[in-house]
């Protein structure tokens, strides 16, 4: 997919002046807007500007509220100029529809802008009949970005065939102040960068998205948003939004770091602000709180597993085990209103069938669970890559015997996690709330397909992963049919992986929902017998001959495998019940000489391709 060459903020020429040039003498003491004052709405920002101007014109005197009201009005936006620059401005109904789409898809589990303040300003924009609208220029930039994201999520192409929302996005870029000026806008400037990153992320421009998310985070840090009690004089509503915006940007940056293999901008120990909290009169922060927990763990996964840190073996093993246990706890302690059960008979959300649960609840619950599941996959996938590498080595007899039973069970849990994710994605599709153009569902679908490709690579000829590959491909084809260009790229990548494994690649429209695989995918998985009840898996493991449980040297990965006493005890075990203490092979699997795991699917797959023979293997 061709990408525009412009980059917001960093390739802009024109800057938007926020404050008029001072006319006072150098000796005059002027009141300045403190960088840490979080200006969460255009109204607050305008009030600060008016107070500043009055104090400059009347040195030594404090400006009263009544004086502020009459001296300097809010800046005026030329409605005619907007129409000339952008073309047809969306109707009020279209604007609210785009806002609703953004809130529904990303506004519950993260809060990148103040929806209430935005909605108020939107009303001003459409209710004022005069040519000049009393709104700040920076709010117009934010509105354009919300419209761009909304149009992209709606998957409605622009008239000239560009990516949905391109027209709004390009105009927002033109109007975005330079970085030094953007900081003067306080919280709104942070929101603008975060929304820019969100659009780029959905548009599958992850490198650019990381750049702007990183900038948003650093702007937030410059305002002290990461510190506790850094703005005690603000109104309660401003502090609540300030807190939730910080954690939303934190979460956004952590996930983009993991997706692109980038270093993180701030360590957790430097963050002292409170986690998202509930407060009367404000939307619930429950979903955001779960996402923050997952994002913290995503950061630990990135720094522990995919950063190539030279930690001692014992420390590395303990860190991995702590991550797995924490992910297990996040899943099992999900808030009751979003608690999901995946059974062979169907999926329940808060005790109700998925199709009968409220749409917002189903959508939010699905996003929370798939975020946790993606973190599990991100943690354990190196084991499957290691096993796939060994399975194609003619000198190695059985890939599963190259790692200890505990690690084999972890790999099986990774497959089960991918299976549950695919079940959720299928339910979203059946309910017609699968995001047409959104990074989260798309990334989850591709990651799931990738796992099942590795299953086929580990056990060629058994077709253990074929149903999962076909299910992932079906969803990708469905998204392609809706105009999702990034999905077309992911489908091509998945098909290419299948070609390397000599798997059949079916081409179809994907418009007809595939038959549900819930009854199969909700069952436990084993590399020995595929999907089935735990008792069947245990029977299969017990039938294995003991001499086959070990074979040869494994470049250090078999160091702890001499004791076979737990060979049959891990079938059906979960993340919390697999002891990794003393599992020295875990360290060597994750630190395979010549194979550096980045956490980026395509990069790790290319590394795998370079190390193994892809000839026909019986």
Residue 150 reports pLDDT greater than 60? yes
Check residue 390 and give its pLDDT.
Answer: 85
345, burial (CB in 10 Å: exposed 0-12, middle 13-18, buried 19+): exposed
- 539 has pLDDT over 50: no
Q: Which of 62-71, 218-227, 552-561, 592-601 has the lowest mean pLDDT?
A: 62-71
pLDDT band at 311; cut points 50, 70, 90: confident
Asked whether residue 90 carries a pLDDT value surpassing 60, the answer given is: yes
161 Ramachandran zone, left/alpha/beta (phi>0; psi -120 to 50): left
State yes or no: pLDDT of 40 exceeds 80: no
φ/ψ bin of 312: left (φ > 0), alpha (ψ from -120 to 50), beta (otherwise): beta
> Where residue 403 falls among pLDDT bands split at 50, 70, 90?
confident
Range of weakest confidence among 230-234, 291-295, 561-565: 561-565
Query: Which of the residue ranges 112-116, 427-431, 574-578 would you say has the lowest mean pLDDT?
Result: 574-578
pLDDT digits (tens, 9 = 90+) for 155-172: 876 667 788 999 999 999
- 421 has pLDDT over 50: yes
pLDDT at res. 395: 63
Nearest to 513 by CA among 400, 389, 420, 429: 429
- Contact between 370 and 424 (Cβ < 8 Å): yes
Q: What percent of the chain has pLDDT over 90?
A: 50
Give the pLDDT confidence of 324-352 residue by residue, as tens digits.
Answer: 999 999 999 999 999 999 988 899 999 99
Q: Which residue has the higher pLDDT, 381 or 41?
A: 381
Of 449, 520, 518, the closest CA to residue 479 belongs to: 449
Q: Which of 63-67, 92-96, 440-444 has the lowest mean pLDDT?
A: 63-67
For the four alpha carbons of 110, 112, 114 and 118, in that order, the dihedral sign comes to negative
Name 81's Cβ contacts closer than 8 Å, sequence gap at least 6. Answer: none
pLDDT at 570: 59
DSSP 280: T
85-117 residues labelled b (16+ CB within 10 A) or e (exposed): ebeebbeeebbbebbebbbbbbbbbbbbbbbeb
* pLDDT score of 345: 86
pLDDT value at residue 129: 66
Mind listing the pLDDT tens digit for each residue in 504-533?
776 554 444 455 678 778 888 998 888 874
Q: Kindly indicate the confidence band of residue 551, based on its pLDDT and cuts at 50, 70 and 90.
A: very low
Q: Which helix (H) or strand (E) holds 500?
A: helix 485-500
Average the pLDDT over 274-280 and give the result: 92
Mean pLDDT of the chain: 80
pLDDT, residue 309, reads 80
Average pLDDT over residues 240-255: 96
Res 76: pLDDT: 61
- What integer pLDDT is reported at residue 204 of this predicted model? 93
Task: Inform me whether the pLDDT recorded for 609 exceeds 50.
Answer: yes
The single-letter DSSP state of residue 89 is P
**Is the pLDDT at 65 greater than 70, yes or no?**
no
- Predicted pLDDT of residue 208: 97
**H or E stretch at 347:** strand 346-349
Q: How confident is the model at residue 424 (pLDDT cuts 50, 70, 90)?
A: very high
């Amino acid at each position: 997919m061709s990408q525009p060459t412009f980059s917001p903020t960093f390739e802009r020429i024109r800057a938007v002046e926020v404050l008029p040039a001072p006319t006072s003498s150098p000796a005059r003491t002027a009141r300045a807007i403190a960088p840490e004052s979080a200006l969460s709405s255009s109204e607050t920002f305008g009030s600060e500007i008016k107070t500043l101007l009055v104090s400059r014109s009347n040195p030594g005197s404090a400006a009263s509220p009544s004086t502020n009201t009459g001296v300097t009005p809010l800046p005026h936006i030329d409605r005619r100029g907007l129409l000339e620059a952008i073309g047809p401005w969306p109707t009020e109904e279209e604007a609210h529809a785009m806002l609703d789409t953004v809130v529904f898809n990303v506004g519950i589990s993260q809060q990148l802008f103040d929806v209430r303040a935005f909605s108020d300003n939107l009303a001003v924009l459409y209710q004022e009949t005069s040519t000049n609208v009393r709104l700040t220029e920076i709010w117009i930039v934010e509105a354009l970005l919300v419209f761009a994201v909304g149009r992209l999520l709606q998957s409605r192409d622009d008239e000239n065939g560009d990516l949905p929302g391109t027209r709004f996005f390009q105009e927002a870029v033109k109007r975005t102040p330079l970085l030094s000026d953007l900081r003067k806008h306080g919280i709104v400037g942070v929101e603008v960068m975060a929304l820019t990153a969100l659009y780029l992320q959905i548009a599958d421009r992850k490198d650019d998205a990381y750049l702007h998310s990183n900038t948003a985070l650093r702007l937030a840090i410059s305002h002290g948003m990461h510190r506790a009690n850094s703005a005690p004089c603000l109104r309660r509503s401003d502090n609540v939004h300030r807190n939730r915006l910080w954690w939303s940007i934190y979460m956004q940056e952590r996930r983009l770091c993991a997706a692109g293999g980038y270093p993180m901008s701030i360590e957790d120990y430097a963050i002292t602000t409170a986690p998202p909290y509930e407060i009367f009169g404000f939307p619930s922060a429950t979903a955001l709180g779960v996402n923050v927990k997952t994002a913290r763990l995503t950061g630990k996964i990135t720094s522990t597993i995919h950063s190539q840190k030279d930690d001692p073996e014992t420390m590395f093993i303990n860190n991995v085990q702590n991550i797995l246990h924490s992910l297990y706890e996040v899943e099992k302690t999900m808030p009751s209103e979003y608690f999901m059960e995946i059974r062979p008979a169907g999926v329940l959300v808060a005790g109700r069938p998925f199709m009968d649960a409220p749409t917002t609840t189903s959508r939010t619950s699905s996003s929370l669970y798939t975020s946790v599941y993606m973190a599990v996959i991100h943690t354990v996938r190196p084991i499957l890559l290691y096993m796939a590498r060994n399975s194609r080595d003619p000198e190695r007899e059985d890939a599963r015997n190259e790692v200890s039973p505990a690690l084999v069970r972890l790999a099986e849990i990774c497959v089960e996690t991918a299976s549950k994710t695919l079940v959720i994605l299928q339910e979203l599709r059946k309910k017609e709330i699968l995001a047409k153009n959104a990074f989260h569902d798309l990334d989850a679908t591709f990651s799931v397909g990738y796992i099942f490709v590795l299953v086929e690579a580990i056990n060629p000829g058994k077709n253990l992963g074929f149903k999962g590959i076909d299910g992932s491909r079906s969803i990708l084809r469905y998204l392609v049919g809706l105009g999702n260009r990034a999905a077309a790229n992911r489908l091509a990548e998945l098909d290419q992986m299948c070609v390397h494994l000599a798997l059949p690649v079916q081409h179809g429209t994907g418009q007809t929902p595939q038959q549900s695989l819930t009854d199969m995918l909700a069952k436990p998985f084993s590399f020995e017998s595929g999907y089935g009840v735990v008792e069947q898996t245990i029977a299969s493991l017990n039938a294995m001959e003991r001499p086959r449980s070990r074979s040869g040297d494994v470049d250090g990965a078999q160091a702890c495998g001499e004791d076979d006493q737990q060979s049959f005890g891990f079938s059906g075990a979960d993340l919390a019940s697999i002891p990794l203490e003393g599992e020295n092979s875990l360290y060597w699997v994750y630190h395979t000489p010549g194979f550096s795991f980045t956490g980026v699917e395509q990069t790790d797959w290319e590394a795998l391709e370079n190390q193994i023979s892809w000839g026909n293997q019986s």
